[in-house]
Amino acid sequence: MPLPSSACVLCGKDGLHDRVCGFDLCSVCGFGNLDSGLERWGLTLEQRRWREQVGSGDNKSMADGLEVKVSFPTKLAAQAHFRQETGFDRLGQWWKATEPQGDEPLFDRAIFVDESSGADLTTIVRDEGVQTAIMELVATGGVRLGDGWVRARRLSSMAYPEFSETAVPLVLLAVHLETCAQLIPPDKG
Ligand SMILES: [Zn+2]
């Protein structure tokens, strides 16, 4: 059965697209050609690369860093740092207090939220597309949410961090957040 044709969420072109982070995405945008998508959604992307020494003693090596930051136009009253739950980390008290039902158990287990604040965050993380994008980004590092921006950093001594692997889910997360921000009444919070 042929798949239905759909419009790419970033460039708007019709065609057969992959489902990525809750959106239909064409292969051109999927490979990291994001200019038309950024323009359509009013997003700004900044990237930075650097090299730094990691490890200590005999285990010193050089690592390549990549930071991508995407700003979106509508402000959200939410700040958070999402990263993979490790060791003795526990889901934050804030998380427990605001999500008592735990209706997203997979997400709850996998993600550690810290430095979170703002009433809008609860609404935002209920969105399935937001969760998918965050899960994708924490798998390769972490993602930080600020007032109108999201930022992901990768540091690797094994392979040069691929721009598209970080930038594509980050831009899609920004599109989800921009959509959420437009739905939240500005007088709330
Ligand atoms: Zn596209």
Does residue 108 belong to any structural domain of this protein?
A: yes
Q: Which domain holds residue 161?
A: 43-181
Secondary structure of the chain in HEC code, one letter for each residue: CCCCCEECCCCCCEECCEEECCEEECHHHHCCCCHHHHHHHCCEEEEEEEEEEECCHHHCEEEEEEEEEEECCCCCCCEEEEEECCCCCCCCHHHHHHCCCCCCHHHHHHEEEEEEECCHHHHHHCCHHHHHHHHHHHCCCEEEEECCEEEEEEEECCCCCCHHHHHHHHHHHHHHHHHHHHHCCCCCC
Does residue 20 belong to any structural domain of this protein?
A: no
Does residue 85 belong to any structural domain of this protein?
A: yes
What does pTM read for this prediction?
Answer: 0.82
User: Could you tell me the distance, in angstroms and rounded to a whole number, from the CA of residue 34 to the centre of ligand 1?
Assistant: 8
Q: What integer pLDDT is reported at residue 48 of this predicted model?
A: 96
User: Could you tell me the distance, in angstroms and rounded to a whole number, from the CA of residue 18 to the centre of ligand 1?
Assistant: 10
User: Could you tell me the distance, in angstroms and rounded to a whole number, from the CA of residue 93 to the centre of ligand 1?
Assistant: 40
Does residue 145 belong to any structural domain of this protein?
A: yes
Q: How many domains does the chain have?
A: 1
The pLDDT tens digits of the residues spanning 42-94 come to 999 999 999 999 888 888 889 999 999 999 998 877 788 887 765 444 444 33
| CB within 8 Å of 9: residues ≥ 6 apart | 23, 24, 25, 37, 172, 175
Does residue 175 belong to any structural domain of this protein?
A: yes
The pLDDT tens digits of the residues spanning 84-122 come to 765 444 444 334 444 434 455 566 666 666 666 666 777
User: Could you tell me the distance, in angstroms and rounded to a whole number, from the CA of residue 13 to the centre of ligand 1?
Assistant: 6
Does residue 186 belong to any structural domain of this protein?
A: no
The pLDDT tens digits of the residues spanning 138-165 come to 887 889 988 899 999 998 888 888 999 9
What residues does the ion ligand 1 have nearby, CB within 5 Å? 8, 10-11, 26, 29
Does residue 13 belong to any structural domain of this protein?
A: no
Q: What integer pLDDT is reported at residue 97 of this predicted model?
A: 42
